[in-house]
Amino acid sequence: MSELFHECGVAAIYFLKGQGSSDLFNDFEPDDAASLIPRMLSDMQNRGQLSAGLTSYMEGRGQLLDTHKEIGTVSEVFRYSHTAKHKSLMQKYAGNAAIGHVRYATCGRDDHSYAQPFERHDLVKSEWFSFAFNGQLANYNELSDELTRDGRHHLARQSDTEVIMHEISRHNSGNGHFALLDMMSKISQRLDGAYSLAYINACGDMLIARDPLGIKPMCVARRGPLIAAASESVALVNLGFNHREIISLKPGHAMTIVDGEVRTERFANSPRHAHCFFEWIYFANVASHLDGRSVYMARTRLGAALAEQEKKQPLFNIDADTIVVPVPDSSRAAADGMAYGLGLPCREGLIRNRASGRTFIEKNQEQRIQQVKLKYTPLPEVMRGKKVILVEDSIVRSTTLQILLKRVYDDGEAAEVHVRVACPPIVAPCFYGIDMSTMDELFAPAMMSEGIMTQSVEQAMATKLGCDSLRYLPVSAIADAIELPQAELCQACITGDYPTPGGTKMYQIALEHRGKGTTRAFDLPNCRPANEPSQTNKMAVEDSKASANIAAAHKS
């Protein structure tokens, strides 16, 4: 799963002036609210490590809205290592309301202008706004073509965030002090895909919204005059809110704060729910609760399901020399659940180097492979001569896992390695905000010639990966672990069944272009000329070459 990355995380904070004081912080002043955004973003750093930023609102300030954003981690962007610089930043961007964002993307990675929030200046206060967005639009092409067709509009960046900014601007233009809920209702009718967003304007009005299907998470909390929202509940818990105060915003609903009045209302019909299951099995912080479901417990139940599989149909002889080892960090809960179910020890055979850097934004395959080698240190004193059950979250492109397996054998001195995956095989791209947008880059589809997973297919996969055996979970295990009906989950990447027309259309285009190298149509959003191969396709080509080299090295 170190090959798979989310787009971003969103945060918002609002202190209602004149409505009492907050008991969450000592010596807390209303205009200190914006200083809480970096803390919240730090708790969601798992959702994006490429850039970070905030926009604050301060009544009476020349810049009613002011934005600070840079390329880098939260600690880098907000100067955590330099107390005086951090304090100066927080003073400059002080305000009683603010929104924040952490980002990961495969495009525009070194471009400051792609960092969020996106702020749009205007002389009219209600039309001067900033917003932060988590998700992806499956109908990006249609919207961008429509916007630019008349020659009057221009997209400076080829990203769906800018498309949403134009949609908001078009609605706001000339409308005076419009209703935020009406704005959200109107633009949502044009958006196909996944989104949660935080919006603030120069009047001091704020809106927190979640897409009608609830694909992306959004949690909100309130205590007295302090209101907070974040993509994950852990960011709110660590501010001091308790679990009873934190709720998940319902799909198709928005919280608005206008003239000191807080309201939560529906802006769009929600005929069904389609929560992204990957939030529970990988993306979300293990301490978070999303839609009332614990991330930790869901992952533990996935591990228990792996144990039940092993009991019913063992693929090797489990004995006193067998141990369970997680691939750090997010596999730990699943590994614990599997080990407990089998009565085996769960050992830390792989130590993650926290200072190894961000392997997913390295510019070429050679650098990525080198970074993977530095990221984990196998412990031979734990794995030497053992039968290792290596628990992994998922297999997307497989290159990282192949490198890791070679190290477990060579450096960890394991006698056998049996990979158990706490997820079904990834068989289709994601068009809703996860970094896997082409068929050719995925490991499983090429191995599943008839689209069916069998024991012989799993063994062929194990041979290609370079391990003794491999087993995935079935699709049914996901809903059981999360404790939500399958009909309320988006499982498109493991079933090929997309919850929106745009996603279905993109999947058909992806299938048509399978094996043809690259296509502009289904690698969205992107930031390259139409004739330039996408970053993900470049990686796919490099990965296929690397896979062959790794397999050859392992056999030798």
Catalytic residues: 8
As beta bridge partners, residue 553 has none
Nearest-CA neighbor of 49 among 90, 3, 101, 85? 101
The residue type found at 430 is C
Measure the CA–CA gap between 315 and 15, rounded to whole angstroms: 57
Measure the CA–CA gap between 28 and 21, rounded to whole angstroms: 8
DSSP one-letter code for 20: -
Contacts of 191 (CB under 8 A, 6+ apart): 137, 139, 143, 164, 167, 211
The number of beta carbons lying within 10 Å of the beta carbon of residue 321 is 12
DSSP one-letter code for 133: E
Measure the CA–CA gap between 74 and 102, rounded to whole angstroms: 8
Nearest-CA neighbor of 227 among 508, 20, 475? 20
Token pair of 87 as six digits: 């304090």
Residue 413 class from Cβ within 10 Å (0-12 exposed, 13-18 middle, 19+ buried)? middle
Question: What stretch of H or E contains 102?
Answer: strand 97-103
Grouping H, G, I as helix, E, B as strand and the rest as coil, residue 391 is strand
**Buried/exposed 110-132: b ≥16 CB within 10 Å, e otherwise:** eeeebbbbbbbeeeeebbbbbbb
Question: What stretch of H or E contains 210?
Answer: strand 206-210
As beta bridge partners, residue 312 has none
Distances (CA, A) of 286 to 139, 479, 485: 32, 17, 21
Contact 401, 470 (CB under 8 A): no
Measure the CA–CA gap between 429 and 441, rounded to whole angstroms: 9
Nearest-CA neighbor of 135 among 195, 45, 46? 195
Task: Report helix angle 140-148 to 160-172, nearest 10.
Answer: 50
- Give strand ranges (E) for 445-494: 469-472, 489-490
Token pair of 157 as six digits: 């960046």
| DSSP codes of every residue in 317-338 | ---TTEEEEE-TTTTHHHHHHH
Measure the CA–CA gap between 138 and 141, rounded to whole angstroms: 8
Distances (CA, A) of 160 to 71, 77, 283: 19, 23, 21
Measure the CA–CA gap between 94 and 443, rounded to whole angstroms: 47
